[in-house]
């Protein structure tokens, strides 16, 4: 099978970790497939050696801007697929050519557009952002309808897609994501101190403001409690809002930003924390939650379908938007070593299900269906 993999949009966060974890496994299970990989130069540099049947082409999508990238994907990418004589095109960018010379598979990995809450929250954002997101949603709908198959990382995400676009139901497959092998190899043990870790980009759907609002309640029982957050205080408009809230609540000195941390550095952060908190009101998967489980680390996550599907009974769940609920969940972990140990044991067992090899098997099955 000849495959064109288009992945320039996998620049950060879970999307990047997914591509880096999946591609080596995909090459391992199908070494005879001829693959043309189009991706960011820095992502290509992180990949291990690939089979000789793979051809790699660097593409800097971020330099084109949204409309420049759109034009490239709709005009140049189909020509590239035709020149490669691709049997199937796999896109990790949420978009595919609306007129493709071969069947296409698109990954729907962003749950925001399928969630009513997103469009409600977006009303408070600048006009330019609202218009850009409307344009992306229109193109996403068109791409999903044009694709031969659609991939989602959880059943919850599949439900979101099919609910908004019912006609896609028979064409949507689920291939559960994995985590990097280092998270299975490193074991969490209770550390000293009361550090509470949050791992994620500071985006519109993340509830780091709720986590910060919960901190004064937590500190009444654990005065030494502090938040350790990946990213920077000036990373986005949402991180700046969180910092402003911490300042108003008088807890800014108890909030520490680690800066950008590569995925390989996250296990060290988790081993220094008493609990991993994944605060969000919308997710397609929840990679930091799965990574914590694989290490056997106690985790608190939002009570939403994707987090429930990933965490099962191996995590604690808080009501989204509710700082009191979040503080209670964190307090349950900090206040009871026995409960934390029990949660850690269940987490370690649950974490065994998240492996990129299994994800690669599911992805290739979808490629074969599309190309048939």
**Would you list the domain boundaries of the chain?**
2-178+355-371, 181-351
Q: How far apart are CA 218 and CA 312, in angstroms?
A: 25
Q: How far apart are CA 21 and CA 26, in angstroms?
A: 9
* Mean of pLDDT values over 77-106: 93
299-302 and 275-278 beta bridge pairing? parallel
* Mean of pLDDT values over 224-248: 95
Q: How far apart are CA 351 and CA 353, in angstroms?
A: 5
CB atoms within 10 A of CB 116: 9
Tens-place pLDDT, residues 168-220:
999 999 999 999 999 999 999 999 889 999 999 999 999 999 999 999 999 99
pLDDT at 311: 97
Assess whether pLDDT exceeds 70 at residue 38. Answer: yes
Q: How far apart are CA 38 and CA 60, in angstroms?
A: 10
Query: Which fold would CATH assign to domain 2-178+355-371?
Result: Rossmann fold (3.40.50)
The CATH architecture assigned to 181-351 reads 3-Layer(aba) Sandwich (3.40)
pLDDT at 174: 97
> Under DSSP, is residue 200 helix (H, G, I), strand (E, B) or coil?
coil
Strand order in the sheet with 226-229: 255-257, 226-229, 195-198, 275-278, 299-302, 316-318
* Mean of pLDDT values over 218-244: 95
Q: How far apart are CA 282 and CA 320, in angstroms?
A: 9
Please list, residue by residue across 169-196, b when 16 or more beta carbons sit within 10 angstroms of its beta carbon and e when fewer do: eebbbbbbbbbbebbbebebeeeeebbb
Name the more confident of 23 and 73. Answer: 23
Assess whether pLDDT exceeds 80 at residue 67. Answer: no
Q: Backbone phi, then psi, for 312, in 5-degree steps? A: 55, -135
Q: How far apart are CA 297 and CA 289, in angstroms?
A: 9
Q: How far apart are CA 103 and CA 232, in angstroms?
A: 41
Looking at every residue in the chain, the average pLDDT score rounds to 93
Q: How many CA atoms lie within 13 A of 212 on its CB side?
A: 27
* Mean of pLDDT values over 316-326: 97
Q: How far apart are CA 320 and CA 132, in angstroms?
A: 26
pLDDT at 72: 85
Tens-place pLDDT, residues 332-366:
999 988 888 999 999 999 999 999 999 999 999 99
- Choose among 195, 205, 199: nearest CA to 113: 205
pLDDT band for 105, please (50, 70, 90 cuts): very high
pLDDT at 339: 87
**Please, which residues have CB within 8 angstroms of residue 95's CB and are 6 or more apart in sequence?**
70, 73, 106, 139, 140, 143
pLDDT at 61: 65
Q: Do domains 2-178+355-371 and 181-351 have the same CATH topology?
A: yes
Assess whether pLDDT exceeds 80 at residue 66. Answer: no
Q: Backbone phi, then psi, for 363, in 5-degree steps? A: -65, -45
Nearest 5°: the CA angle 284, 26, 40 is 70
């Amino acid at each position: 099978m000849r495959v064109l993999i288009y992945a320039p949009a996998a620049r950060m966060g879970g999307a990047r970790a997914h591509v880096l974890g999946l591609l080596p496994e995909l090459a391992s299970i199908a070494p005879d497939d001829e693959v043309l990989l189009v991706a960011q130069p820095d992502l290509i540099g992180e990949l291990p050696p690939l089979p000789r049947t793979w051809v790699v082409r660097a593409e800097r999508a971020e330099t084109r801007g949204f409309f420049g990238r759109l034009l490239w994907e709709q005009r140049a990418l189909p020509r590239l697929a035709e020149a490669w004589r691709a049997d199937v095109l796999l896109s990790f960018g949420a978009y595919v050519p609306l007129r493709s010379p071969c069947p296409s598979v698109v990954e729907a990995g962003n749950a925001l557009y399928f969630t009513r809450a997103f469009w409600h929250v977006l009303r408070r954002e600048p006009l330019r952002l609202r218009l850009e997101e409307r344009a992306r949603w229109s193109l996403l709908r068109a791409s999903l309808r044009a694709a031969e198959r659609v991939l989602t990382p959880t059943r919850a995400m599949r439900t979101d897609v099919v609910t908004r676009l019912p006609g896609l139901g028979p064409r949507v497959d689920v291939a559960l994501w994995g985590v990097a092998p280092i998270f299975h190899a490193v074991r969490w043990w209770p550390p000293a101190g009361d550090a509470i870790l949050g791992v994620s980009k500071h985006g519109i759907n993340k509830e780091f403001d709720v986590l910060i609002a919960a901190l004064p309640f937590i500190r009444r029982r654990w005065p030494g409690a502090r938040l350790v957050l990946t990213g920077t205080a000036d990373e986005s408009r949402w991180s700046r809002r969180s910092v402003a809230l911490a300042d108003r609540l008088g807890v800014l000195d108890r909030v520490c930003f680690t800066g950008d941390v590569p995925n390989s550095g996250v296990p060290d952060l988790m081993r220094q924390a008493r609990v991993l908190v994944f605060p969000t009101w919308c997710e397609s998967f929840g990679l930091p939650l799965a990574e914590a489980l694989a290490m056997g680390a106690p985790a608190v996550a939002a009570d939403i379908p994707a987090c429930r599907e990933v965490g099962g009974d191996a995590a604690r769940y808080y009501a989204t938007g509710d700082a009191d609920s979040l503080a209670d969940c964190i307090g349950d972990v900090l206040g009871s070593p026995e409960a934390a140990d029990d949660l850690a044991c269940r987490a370690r067992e649950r974490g065994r299900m998240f492996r990129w090899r299994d994800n690669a098997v599911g992805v290739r099955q979808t490629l074969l269906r599309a190309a048939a």
